[in-house]
Structure 1
Amino acid sequence: MCGIAGIFHCGIPKPVDSERVRRMSDALAHRGPDGSGVWTGPGVGLGHRRLSIIDVAGSPQPMHSSDGRATIVFNGEIYNYRELRRELASEGAQFRTDGDTEVILAAWARWGVECLPRLHGMFAFALYDAHRRELLLARDRLGVKPLFMAHLSDGSLAFASELKGLLAHPLLRREADPLAVEDYLAWGYVPDHRSILKGVEKLPAGHYRVLRHESSPQPPVQWWDVDFTRRRSGSSADLSAELLHHMRQAVASRMVADVPLGAFLSGGVDSSSVVALMAESSRDPVKTCSIGFDVAALDETAYAEQVALRFGTDHRSRTVDPDDFSAVDRLATMFDEPFADASALPTWRVCQLARENVTVALSGDGADEAFAGYRRQIFHAREEQARAVLPAALRRPAFGALGAIWPKADWAPRPLRAKTTFQSLADDGAAGYARALGVVPPELRATLYTDRFAREIGDYRAEDPLVEMMRSAPARSGLDRAQYADLKFWLPGGILTKVDRTSMNVSLEAREPLLDHRLIEFAAQLPQRERIRGRQGKWLLKHTMRRYLPDDVLFRPKQGFVTPVAQWLRGPLAGEARAIASGARLARTGWFDEIRLSTIAEAHIAGRSDHSRLLWQLLMLDRSLDRLGISG
């Protein structure tokens, strides 16, 4: 795992300052503390920071092809590089190293951009071909590894693994994009189609971009997508056997490393499944780790210890203080863009714990998106059944009226929290799911903005891109479309961003075997009854893993990392909540109605309402603006 950065002149190939590239790559030193390198040519400069995982003593970067034609900087892992190496060697390719980076160079020489579908793994790389005078930027299928880009005033395009690499370039403008603020308020993160800074883009997952000297920049091209339009046939037993084969293959391929390797173990279905299959294919005890809390309602370590004992892992756990709010500023620096998922704190802590013993850790991320494990997906499938029965002409006025008058009752038992359901049923499936996935609904966002900021946003609503994505998805059912949105929108912008930044902050490589693209493609073809039965999501996955895991692990309610943000904002962070409305950098932007924010903060602090998610979002936005030097 590494960090990459670079500069490319799309017009006249002007000289590139190597020190400028070095400063950009050195801003990513946490991603690669084991080595660094910079290379420049006419109109191009590439920088690299290395975390040594494969071929530890060799494979320095930037790396040149044996014929000197191509140069690459690469962040990620190619899990099938040995098979590709044998195939390429049989066709005459020669190799000087034992790593996967040189395999990408040889694959490019042999197949050009068609090499991308042959690469199994997680990656973002920049490859300059001197003969073609072009730069290839590419990102893996699901967006495990990030890549930021910015067009600068001197005609160049700068790129880096994280925004902080671009921030090291003196020509980068630091002007906030108001549409990104709208997106952030809706989702709790800035999705991949936007950046908090104007002029900055993210290369979308499963896309590549080719840039040429003396030619206008070309838009990204999609080279992979997940297709939900086909259905597998066969019995549950046959599908279960095929699923197990894919999972074993995915886990085994991600256990290849020349450094210590382990796994995160929460005691939930997904991480426990990964650990079970790691133990099955390993001669030595698997190194596992988990984070616990000294509050019983938040602690899952008993389940993790149960799984660790079952598979004889070398397990370590650590109890952390649930009032670990002191790292708020560290989070803002870690993510650059505002990021409001409070579980980033315990995720960072478990990464710190893992890094004490290993350099690579496998996680269980991706199964909920692929196999329909989220509660919202199950609710959406039921709502789609209701939509199929009730015509829109009846649903919209009836449920719209109920949604408008029904009180918002977050304190009530779940069956009585009907407001969101009514509002969702009044919409079509895509708009309803966007509402379920969002954090701050559009009606509430509209009350927060000043008139000036509302005019800047105009008619744009953060839900629009997601709704359009779902409506045009290669899918057959509402559940398909919901899962497509989770894989293409929620996963890269939210979950994978969280894991990448928190793991890379401590120079730990996180690998996600349940996001193997062959496994994802298989899951997308499963009949709906193999994904959801009754109120149970991930049905086939859980059924398959019953041979390994006990039912109290497989079928207990999903919990995940929980952070007591509501209590923080009524206690040690109450002053921070009040400052959001007046005094903080956020208040000076003129984006938000100060009186409205003050009313929300005081109601939460007094315990009259729970506005913790919104206040946490605003607090993290304030911290990010401070980190980026933005005042509006």
Structure 2
Amino acid sequence: MLSRIKHRGPDDTGEIHRGRVWLGHQRLSIMDVDGGAQPMSDPGGTTHLVANGEIYNHRNIREDLGHELFETGSDSEAALHALIVDGPAGLARLRGMFTLAFMTDDGQFLVARDAVGVKPLYWARKPEVTLFASELRAFDEADRPLVESFPPGCCWSPESGLVRFADAVPAVLRPAHRLPSDTEPGVWGDDLLKSVRETIVAAVENRMMSDVGIGVFLSGGLDSAIVAAVAAEYALRHRQPLPTFAIGAPGSSDLAAARVVADHLGTEHHEIVMTAEDAMTALPKAVRAIEHFDPSLVRSAVPNLLLAEYASKRVHAVLTGEGADELFAGYDYYHQEPFTNPDALQAELVRTVNELHHLNLQRCDRTTMAFGMEARVPFLDRDVIGLALSIPPEHKMIGPGREAKKLLRDAFDGWLPEEILRRGKEQFGDGSGAKDVLEQAVLAAPEVAEAEGVELRSKEEAAFYAIWRSELNGIRPGSTLGLFATT
């Protein structure tokens, strides 16, 4: 199983076996490159942890628990000691994106996944053993019919079973916060703009931590441009370079817009011009990598994969703009019936945030980790989610003089060129040109005679499903993939 996901952590392999528990880890070295090997153990060598992801508040945890406990500079060690000190309650200390497995020599075992599900985790429960892995491909073909997505915000132990320890969206935010009757939709004060801006800035800066190179995927859209602008300010203060990476077909709108942003910010900008041949060659690799066949995901995965392959030779981690559309109502369909009702819009925003781990986050993680590079998503920071979904949905609705995501645009007024700040929404697969260059692949694709109970909505989806099925034989689509929920 471990060898099948070596691409996720090409820098080192580690494993440990105690009693009935086996832990294995493929390491991508980002924090404490020399001292952060995994599995990680306490000084007495009786407690052990493997983790995937980043604990962004690890320095605060060190202060709280005492520096004398720590032997490395790895952020993962903060998770180890939080669990040693507090048991499963220690998961509440962790701020970041992570999956982890923790065990002790006396037989305790715990596995957990972050509340949003930024980092992937799957499990297969058999009578004699429970298996966990970061990707579907890790499981033996005989076990694949049993594989399920491990739910975000949950932990599991043999004694307690599955227990929820955190929610992506706190219950108090799920109903809409009503706009006061004397307040006009789309009219907000400086305090709200400042709060939005400062919360996003803090989230981006927290994700700049790295002992190796870090960059930004810059599509030229509003969301990634904001991330790049904040990251560029941080990099300037810390006297470090900021590489930005953009991809598109010749003459694509994404390449042109990203170039404007990069020139404005003064980043070390890299462009990849994607030909039709490049896209066709990358298509089966993209379907295999994302372990999904949804057309909108595949269209965006093709340029994402090519971009990741290029960027991974230069940095070990990148920041992306994932999640902003779901928090600030950026997609066109949010502004159509039945979501023109504030309560319905809030419910849909909450639903799509909760489903991201099946969809865009799956694509984001797999395309980057296919080349041993980590993607970080500042818009899905816990504080950003909490603030964004506490804002009355009327402020996110379009209307006369109010384009989509106007609140987000106004919060970063002056940070970006006006043409970027007011640029309309374009799906990554469309703006990059991937949708057009993939059409010939769809037209040439063979018909799928049988789809094992899956309703294929188009010939395009059938073509991608054929590739998916050949790569992941035995997986039940409905049990592991958030299908039919994309927009």
Give the structure-2-normalised TM-score.
0.87
| Structure 1 residue 114 corresponds to structure 2 residue 89 | yes
Shift of 1:521: 0.4
- Within the candidate set 277, 288, 291, 2:230 is matched to 277
| Structure 1 residue 165 corresponds to structure 2 residue 138 | yes
**3-state SS of 1:343 partner:** helix
What runs of 5+ residues in structure 2 fail to find an aligned partner?
477-487
- Within the candidate set 344, 347, 366, 2:323 is matched to 366
Q: Give the corresponding residue for 2:483.
A: none
| Structure 1 residue 29 corresponds to structure 2 residue 6 | yes
Q: Give the corresponding residue for 1:391.
A: none
Shift of 1:337: 4.6
Shift of 1:116: 1.7
- Within the candidate set 181, 199, 202, 2:146 is matched to 199
**C-alpha spacing 1:118/1:33, structure 2 compared with 1 (3 Å):** same
Which runs of structure 2 are paired with 1:338-417 in the superposition (5 Å)? 338-340=293-295, 341=297, 342-380=299-337, 383-384=340-341
Which runs of structure 2 are paired with 1:49-88 in the superposition (5 Å)? 49-88=26-65
Per-residue CA shift, 1:267-309, capped at 9, x if unaligned?
1111110111111122234211101211x4x432121111111
Q: Give the corresponding residue for 1:429.
A: none
Give the structure-1-normalised TM-score.
0.68
Structure whose alpha-carbon radius of gyration is higher? 1
Which runs of structure 2 are paired with 1:217-256 in the superposition (5 Å)? 218-227=161-170, 228=173, 229=175, 231=177, 236-256=189-209
- Within the candidate set 409, 417, 420, 1:542 is matched to 409
Q: Give the corresponding residue for 2:283.
A: 328
The one-letter amino acid of 2:323's match is G
What runs of 5+ residues in structure 1 fail to find an aligned partner?
1-23, 175-197, 386-476, 582-586, 598-612
Structure 1 Cα separation of the partners of residues 294 and 13 of structure 2 = 29
- Within the candidate set 131, 142, 147, 2:116 is matched to 142
**C-alpha spacing 1:220/1:339, structure 2 compared with 1 (3 Å):** farther
The one-letter amino acid of 2:389's match is A
Q: Give the corresponding residue for 1:130.
A: 105
- Within the candidate set 256, 266, 281, 1:302 is matched to 256
**3-state SS of 2:51 partner:** strand
Structure 1 Cα separation of the partners of residues 389 and 331 of structure 2 = 15
Superposed CA RMSD: 2.5
Retained in 2: the 8 A contact 1:25–1:49?
A: yes
- Within the candidate set 429, 450, 463, 1:561 is matched to 429
Retained in 2: the 8 A contact 1:262–1:360?
A: yes
Structure 1 Cα separation of the partners of residues 333 and 52 of structure 2 = 33
Seq. identity, %: 32
Shift of 1:209: 1.5
The one-letter amino acid of 2:105's match is A
Q: Give the corresponding residue for 2:480.
A: none
| Structure 1 residue 621 corresponds to structure 2 residue 487 | no
Structure 2 Cα separation of the partners of residues 572 and 137 of structure 1 = 41
**3-state SS of 1:28 partner:** helix
| Structure 1 residue 291 corresponds to structure 2 residue 247 | yes
Q: Give the corresponding residue for 1:311.
A: 265
Structure 1 Cα separation of the partners of residues 348 and 37 of structure 2 = 42
**3-state SS of 1:71 partner:** strand
Structure 2 Cα separation of the partners of residues 26 and 203 of structure 1 = 21
| Structure 1 residue 95 corresponds to structure 2 residue 70 | yes
Using CA pairs below 8 Å that are at least 6 residues apart, which structure has the higher relative contact order?
2
**3-state SS of 1:208 partner:** strand
Shift of 1:624: 1.9
Shift of 1:67: 3.0
Shift of 1:78: 0.4
The one-letter amino acid of 1:289's match is F
The one-letter amino acid of 1:316's match is H
Structure 2 Cα separation of the partners of residues 591 and 124 of structure 1 = 31
Structure 1 Cα separation of the partners of residues 441 and 376 of structure 2 = 35
Q: Give the corresponding residue for 1:483.
A: 349
Shift of 1:486: 0.8
**C-alpha spacing 1:565/1:288, structure 2 compared with 1 (3 Å):** closer
The one-letter amino acid of 2:429's match is F
Shift of 1:73: 0.8
Structure 2 Cα separation of the partners of residues 375 and 358 of structure 1 = 34
**C-alpha spacing 1:281/1:568, structure 2 compared with 1 (3 Å):** closer
Structure 1 Cα separation of the partners of residues 292 and 263 of structure 2 = 40
**C-alpha spacing 1:590/1:118, structure 2 compared with 1 (3 Å):** closer
